[in-house]
Amino acid sequence: MTEKQPTPYEQLGGEEVLRKLVQRFYEIMHTMPEAQGIRQMHPENLRGSEEKLFMFLSGWLGGPNLFIERFGHPRMRMRHFPFKIGKSERDQWMLCMVQAFDDMQIQEPLRSELLHSLLNLADHMRNQPEE
């Protein structure tokens, strides 16, 4: 019998750590001048966005599928299509995420693995032609 490998959700620290990471991400987005382009795409009150990202990442990382249970298939690209997302927006989103990972002291190799996967996800959201 082989031991089951912990999911990235478990490796990260589960619900408590993920919730804090997402909260920190939105605090950074709200206050960092370099992220104002993507901040303006969000509603004034970030609580709903924060909760949706938490629920999505929970399932995406191998934890409870909270987003799917509540909203159905994520269809992330479709849900983001109303917003103009190019390289700049992708990079702003990743800047906030990297800073949140650093502030939460997420350790290697999990840090690099997750940030690489998140970059792929953020890149997939792009819907604007190259400038």
Q: Give the C-alpha separation, 20 to 104, whole Å.
A: 8
Q: Mean pLDDT across the stretch 1-13?
A: 90
* pTM, to two decimals: 0.94
Nearest to 92 by CA among 31, 9, 20: 31
Find out whether 34 and 92 touch, Cβ atoms under 8 Å.
yes
Domains of the chain: 13-124 (1.10.490.10)
100-116 pLDDT, tens per residue?
Answer: 999 999 999 999 999 99
Q: Mean pLDDT across the stretch 10-22?
A: 98
pLDDT value of residue 131: 58
Question: Mean pLDDT over all residues of the chain?
Answer: 95
22-53 pLDDT, tens per residue?
Answer: 999 999 999 999 999 999 999 999 999 999 99
Q: Give the C-alpha separation, 109 to 114, whole Å.
A: 9
